[in-house]
Structure 1
Amino acid sequence: MGTSTRNKGQSGHTPLVPSWLEEGGDDGREGQNAGEIKAIPPDGDINRFTGPRGTFTKYISGGGRDGSSMRKSVSQYVSRSLGGSSRATTRLGSARNSTARLYNVLNSLSRNGGINEVAHQLSINNLEGLSASSFFTKIASFVCPDGGPNDEGMARTAYFDAIAENQMLYEKKIEELTAQDCMSILQKYMSKVIMEHIKNDIANKIIILPNDINEISRIEGSVEQLIQQSVADACAEVQQNNLQMTNTKAEQITDSIYKKTYEILEGQGE
């Protein structure tokens, strides 16, 4: 599972929310005056990743059989390493913008005649009859633009994994997707985004310690199942409507879902 290259994990010195991930635009500079230099956020607690990493390593070392260790580590990760659900959401960086763009497309597709609206919106012709998997691959550069930062790489990895692992996308034409299908796609992507960040921040040893490839899959599967259920519960709690969608509205809704998901994950350690 996963195609991105794992790094050594975040340093505790890294600010809880680096300046380039602050609110306001894709690059965090929107709203600043020309020539204004944004203050560099103070370093985070050097030990803030230690506890969650240790607990997660214990979970992996035990073959993934101690679910309480896994839930505790994820809870500590949100509360201690990321500073709570709001900061955790902001820290997703590029994935927030990508999720909003995907949500906007899916919201259009879920309505009658939505395929024509999407074709016009993205300037793509001949969508009818295209398999759903081909369509989402086709719009990948729109949803997850290329870039250098690590968070953009994680957003793209999450997107392509969400497509590859969704068999329904290979079996249906784009015009056959239902509103429920579209919500399933959104939830799958959001789950993958959070999973990618967890693997890069506290779960690097998931691909080092286990001796059996099946054990790795089982361990990852258990963590992802927890995340997917949390995302589904969050979606059920965040009110959405069928009004004309705007970029701002899409960002507000998807940010609300991420924040609620992190709140649910944080509560897993109680």
Structure 2
Amino acid sequence: MGSSRGVAARIAGFLGDVSARGLQAALVTFNLAGMAGSSPAEIFSALVEQFCPEGGSVDEGIARDAFMETVVELADAGIADMSSLTPEQMQTVLELYVAHTIEDRIYNDIGIKGVEIPADAGAAQAVQDQLHEFILGGVSDAFSEAAIDFAAIDPNTIGQTMERIYGAAFDILEALGEEEAAK
């Protein structure tokens, strides 16, 4: 999941830049200064093109799809103004993105390995919803353990921080899965 980790690091870097220098200055870095008054969905949609352009490997496709899914969920997550993001909202953006990348990777593996899913669309949606909540909970736990300070995040260690979060999230999900299987 190297592409996803790289995009997560770029998102974290952007959010840290917004926190440290303000939205306008952070957007200038990506030649998007004119978007300062735009909605978070519009800004992040433009960043999708910057961070993960179309084409590429399966991993790059997963990164792009996860970013677009995250953009769709921003309003539901209460993120309405990019110029006044709280640290909690910044973490939510990253949690959503990381959860979607893990979820998309699992779906890809299911497709490749031919895992059987329910034939009924409602039952399949219920399984998908449960999986999403399970993954999001594990990712949220991993972020809580990491305790990222976006105002002081070091651009040189963002990649390492995202690596630790992905590792911790997978460890948490594995432990939860084993616990659930033992029931």
Equivalent residue number for residue 101 of structure 1: 10
Match of 1:230 in 2: 138
SS of the residue aligned with 2:53?
A: coil
Residues 132 and 169 of structure 1 are in contact (CA less than 8 Å); yes or no, is this contact kept in structure 2? no
- Answering whether residue 137 of structure 2 is matched by residue 245 of structure 1, we say no
Report SS of the residue matched to 2:166. Answer: helix
Note if contact 2:79-2:85 (Cα within 8 Å) is conserved in structure 1: no
For 1:132 and 1:170, locate their aligned partners in 2 and report how far apart those are by CA, in whole Å. Answer: 10
State the 1:119 CA deviation.
Answer: 1.9
Paired letter, 2:129: G
Residue 117 of structure 1, aligned match among 4, 21, 25: 25
2:95 to 168, 183, 187: 187
Q: Deviations along 1:2-33, whole A, 9 cap, x unmatched? A: xxxxxxxxxxxxxxxxxxxxxxxxxxxxxxxx
**Partners in 2 of 1:197 and 1:160 — Cα distance?**
15
Counterpart of 1:164 in structure 2 is 72
Tell me the secondary structure at the aligned position of residue 126 of structure 1.
Answer: helix
Q: Percent identity?
A: 26
Alpha-carbon distance change, 162 to 127 in structure 1, aligned in 2, over 3 angstroms: same
- Return 5+ residue gaps in structure 2 as ranges: none
Q: Report if the CA contact (8 A) 1:109-1:115 is conserved.
A: yes
| Aligned residue pairs, count | 176
Alignment of 1:6-45 (within 5 A): none
Q: 1:169 to 1:135 in 2, by over 3 A?
A: farther
Q: 1:234 to 1:150 in 2, by over 3 A?
A: same
The letter for the 2-side match of 1:243 is: A
CA displacement 1:72-126 (0-9 Å, x = unmatched): xxxxxxxxxxxxxxxxxxxx12111111101111122234x42023123222222
Q: Deviations over 1:169-209 (max 9, x none)?
A: 79713224322111101100000000011111136667x74
Q: TM-score, normalised by structure 2?
A: 0.85
* Greater Rg over alpha carbons, structure: 1
Find the aligned partners of 2:153 and 2:60 in 1 and give their Cα distance.
28
Give the root-mean-square deviation of aligned CA atoms.
2.2
Kept after mapping to 2: 8 A contact 1:195/1:227: yes
Structure 1, unmatched stretches of 5+, are 1-91
TM-score normalised according to structure 1 size? 0.59
Residue aligning to 1:257:
165
Deviations 1:23-61 (A, max 9, x none): xxxxxxxxxxxxxxxxxxxxxxxxxxxxxxxxxxxxxxx
1:140–1:266 CA distance, 2 compared to 1 (3 A):
same
